[in-house]
Amino acid sequence: MTDETVIAPGPFSRITPGYRLNEIYEIDSLLATGGMGEVYRGHAIETGDEVAIKTIRPEFAQNAAALALFKREASALRNLYHEAIVRYFVFSIDRGLPYLAMEFVEGKSLSEFLQKGPLNLEQLRVLQKRLASGLQAAHELGIIHRDVSPDNIILPGENLARAKIIDFGIARSGQGEGTVIGSGFAGKFSYVSPEQLGLFGGNVTAQSDIYSLGLVLAEAALGKAIDMGHSHVDVIEKRRRVPDLTGVDPRFRPLLQRMLQPNPKDRPASMSEVVEWAPSGGRRGARGMKGLAIAAGVLLLLGGLGGAGYLLAPQLRQLVPGGGGAPAAMSGPGERMAGLPSASDASPGRSAEPAPPPDGGEALLPQAPPPRTEPQPEPPAEIANLPPAAAPAPPPPEMPRAAGPASPDQVASFLRDYTGGDCFFVAPIAIAAREARIEAFGASPTPFVEFDTAFQRNLGFEPEIGLRQVTSAQCPAVEFLARKATQRGSRAPRLTIQSDRLRSGQELRGSVDGKADANVELLLVADDGLVHSLGPFAKRSGDAINFSLRLEASSAGEKPQLVIAIASPRPLPSLKLSGPANADRFFRQLQDETSRGQVSGVATRYFKLGG
């Protein structure tokens, strides 16, 4: 939820050939356009080198969330150098116009190239080695892409050996700097991994890229995409077992079988293994491959952002890069927050789905099973015994279809009126003509897949959704946010946190704009459903309220946490906490005060603690 939720496009004067940016680059021609901005072909003034220049519309530059996405895209990749990955040069702002200069790469996408037919084994091996080495470089810097697709692999001169990985707009750093779009699914459903849909703990790691690339390589081997589901139920169900690989060259099939294991811990461990993988009887690299004595390896590809299609021309897609365990113990410097329970051991087997492996957990990977040259008729017991997908929320009443492109007001109205059932909340980050970036909160991805379908059916284009998956104990907070969002005239305080990923012992730091009302209260809703006041850790400085506290996770694995800022004209009785409060009772009482008009605005931020 953001303080700036809807931005309608205003007058926009497109820059023209000859326009100079900071006296460094000069615009040559417009390449692609969309609701969020434009992509231009340009050149460096001093050297004449060609560049691609991505701009963001001025009105979005005033939206802190939208501009942060743009900045993080550049920041995440500024130190990444590899021949198989498009280079990022400069992020700057010229006369109020933010822009990103990057390597200009011209060529067809892999998806266009595959229209000619499938690749043979030799071609697949070339693509495998080229892309895997680039992805290894990205993963070594902690960059996880999360949206691999054939659209985001460009082939200059239709040469597989020169393939380039593009569109890092939703990549995130694994080192805790932040997430560009979200911690859940952000890519197109055709290529997302099971964990991006909330299965196996929902923790998105390098193994998610492995799975998505497996689907891309399978498509290259078959000449057509594997059917991974279209309805919201099928999308999840088809990721509970290895897909049918009939028709893939038997020599290449073992690699894909490892990559497409539903459980992340059963996939290969690293990208470097892929570079060295060879079909049975082939020559291997010097380092060998873990478990290769009895199984083939893995191929990872950190591909591009399918959701960034708003800026991509058909043959210029290379131009545009795109955020129930034990409770958290909190302490300020040198002290532990009063009232928090002590740490308790995590109970194994309490989750219906296997937990993702902890960081550095290669030792936990099982030895690979012997490769099968034919599709397995039955999934392994571990996969077959997964619980069925949650029943989908009842579909909302059919809304009239828009005769033309939906306006920002229509999109905002759809979001406000849509009913997704319990524990469901969606809020726009930025909206423009045929463009929507949406933040979603819920305990299960299933209703959001249905929401995506309904959105496209009623508004005529695909939104970009980032799911912040919460625990069931946090659902009362999500439902409160959803009810508050339907009220018009809310003035949300501006809430920021410095990182969306913290390890145990690190400090949570943030600030909130205190100008909106005389009173702003800060809360932490932990994964166990206990609500804690952050008031003791907050200090007002002018119009800003800054907070800082040390967090200690008392169970293994990453757990979702919510920071909520509540603005009101005067102090509210329900917000005066002497100790942790049960979320269900707390938000029920707070809702009563909200319904009487005593809450003027709410903002929330999501992060994960642990690991």
Q: Dump pLDDT digits (tens) for 8-44.
A: 333 445 689 999 999 999 999 998 776 567 889 999 9
Q: Which residues contact 343 (CB under 8 A, 6 or more apart)?
A: 326, 329, 552, 554, 555
* pLDDT confidence band for 586 (50 / 70 / 90): very high
Domain residue spans of the chain: 20-103, 108-322, 408-609
Residue 351's pLDDT is what? 35
DSSP per position, 293-359:
TTS----------GGGGGG--TT-GGG------PPEEEE-TT-PPTTPPPP----TT-SSSPPPPPT
Q: What percent of the chain has pLDDT over 90?
A: 29
* pLDDT confidence band for 252 (50 / 70 / 90): very high
Residue 407's pLDDT is what? 82
Each as own residue / partner, the long-range contacts of residues 451-456 (CB below 8 Å, 24 or more positions apart, any chain) are 451/418, 451/420, 451/424, 451/426, 452/189, 452/232, 453/231, 453/232, 454/395, 454/396, 454/399, 454/418, 455/414
**Of 164-168, 286-290, 418-422, 581-585, which range is least confident?**
286-290
Query: Of 26 and 542, which is predicted with more confidence?
Result: 26
Q: Which residues contact 257 (CB under 8 A, 6 or more apart)?
A: 242, 245, 296, 371, 372
Residue 389's pLDDT is what? 40
CA distance 155 to 149: 14
* pLDDT confidence band for 401 (50 / 70 / 90): low
Residue 362's pLDDT is what? 32
* pLDDT confidence band for 119 (50 / 70 / 90): very high
Q: Are 52 and 313 in contact (CB under 8 A)?
A: no
End-to-end CA distance of the chain: 26
* pLDDT confidence band for 487 (50 / 70 / 90): low
Across 375-386, average pLDDT: 37
* pLDDT confidence band for 280 (50 / 70 / 90): confident
* pLDDT confidence band for 281 (50 / 70 / 90): low
User: Does residue 454 register a pLDDT over 70?
Assistant: yes
* pLDDT confidence band for 220 (50 / 70 / 90): very high
**Of 163-172, 382-391, 412-421, 435-444, which range is least confident?**
382-391
Residue 392's pLDDT is what? 44
* pLDDT confidence band for 64 (50 / 70 / 90): low
> Looking at domain 408-609, does it have CATH number 3.30.70.980?
no
Residue 57's pLDDT is what? 73
Q: HSE of 516 in the Cβ direction (CA atoms, 13 Å)? A: 22
Paired tokens of 371: 């490769």
Average confidence score pLDDT of the chain: 74
**Domain 408-609 in the same topology as domain 108-322:** no
Which is nearest to 513 in space by CA: 603, 439, 430? 603
User: Does residue 106 register a pLDDT over 60?
Assistant: yes
Residue 354's pLDDT is what? 38
CA distance 188 to 326: 33
CATH code reported for the domain at 108-322: 1.10.510.10
**Burial grade of 153 (CB within 10 A; 0-12, 13-18, 19 or more):** buried
CB neighbours (10 Å) of residue 519?
15
pTM: 0.57
Query: Of 446 and 514, which is predicted with more confidence?
Result: 446
Which residues are 41's β-sheet partners?
29, 52
**Of 13-17, 212-216, 392-396, which range is least confident?**
392-396
CB neighbours (10 Å) of residue 456?
12
Please state whether beta strands 108-109 and 153-155 pair in parallel, antiparallel, or not at all (unpaired).
antiparallel
Across 288-312, average pLDDT: 28
User: Does residue 217 register a pLDDT over 50?
Assistant: yes
CA distance 577 to 107: 60
Q: Which CATH number fits domain 20-103: 2.40.10.120, 2.40.50.140, 3.40.50.300, 3.30.200.20?
A: 3.30.200.20
User: Does residue 503 register a pLDDT over 70?
Assistant: yes
* pLDDT confidence band for 310 (50 / 70 / 90): very low
**Burial grade of 436 (CB within 10 A; 0-12, 13-18, 19 or more):** buried
Give alpha helix (H) positions in 474-537: 475-485
* pLDDT confidence band for 59 (50 / 70 / 90): low
CA distance 162 to 131: 9
User: Does residue 364 register a pLDDT over 70?
Assistant: no
Residue 169's pLDDT is what? 55
DSSP per position, 224-255:
S-----SSHHHHHHTTSSPPP-TTS-TTTHHH
User: Does residue 580 register a pLDDT over 60?
Assistant: yes
Residue 66's pLDDT is what? 66
Most confident region among 65-69, 78-82, 267-271, 505-509 by mean pLDDT: 505-509
Query: Of 190 and 226, which is predicted with more confidence?
Result: 226
Query: Of 85 and 357, which is predicted with more confidence?
Result: 85
User: Does residue 58 register a pLDDT over 90?
Assistant: no
User: Does residue 102 register a pLDDT over 70?
Assistant: yes
123-137 pLDDT per residue, tens: 999 998 888 888 888
Paired tokens of 552: 């200690």
User: Does residue 524 register a pLDDT over 50?
Assistant: yes
Longest dimension (CA), the chain: 75
Residue 403's pLDDT is what? 53
* Strand, helix or coil for residue 464: strand
Paired tokens of 359: 């960081």
Which is nearest to 569 in space by CA: 514, 610, 522? 514
* pLDDT confidence band for 562 (50 / 70 / 90): very high
Residue 126's pLDDT is what? 93
Residue type, 560: P
Q: Which residues contact 589 (CB under 8 A, 6 or more apart)?
A: 574
Residue 135's pLDDT is what? 83
DSSP per position, 389-416:
PPPPPPPPPPPPPPSSSPPHHHHHHHHH
Which is nearest to 249 in space by CA: 374, 163, 378, 117? 374
Q: Are 428 and 6 in contact (CB under 8 A)?
A: yes
* Strand, helix or coil for residue 374: coil
Residue 137's pLDDT is what? 84
DSSP conformation class of 260 = T
User: Does residue 477 register a pLDDT over 50?
Assistant: yes
